[in-house]
Amino acid sequence: MVRIVVAMMVAFTAALGIAVACYPGQDAAAGRYRFCYDFISALGVTRTPGGLDNHRASLVFNAALGLAMLTLIPYWYLRSQHVRRAS
């Protein structure tokens, strides 16, 4: 399970990089993803506030985020089994 979660984290980081590369920027003037000015969830919008099409980054980001979160649920179950009982 630990290996699956590690693989998921590596894959998610790679997908995040791809989504950042595909993101067209908030508007035509920005032109790219700006680390300090754009939220991470900006990568998931289908259309940017400036009206630019963002379906590619949106697809990659939302699919990777959704899969990563579903993969984590069995890990949380395993991990929570090693929490002490309240005494």
Partner 1 sequence: MKLLAFLCCAGFSLGVFGVALSPCDLRPDMHNLCIYTAFALIVPGVLLLLLASDRALCGWRYRVAWAGFAVALLLCELYLVTLVSHHVLPSRPVNPLIQKANVGVFFAWMVADLWLFNAFLNRRESKLCGSLRA
* Residues binding partner 1 (CB under 8 A): 2, 5-6, 9, 35-42, 44-47, 49, 58, 61-63, 65-66, 69-70, 72-73, 76-77, 79-86
CB of 28 to partner 1, least distance (A): 17
CB of 66 to partner 1, least distance (A): 4
CB of 81 to partner 1, least distance (A): 6
For the chain, how many residues are written? Answer: 87
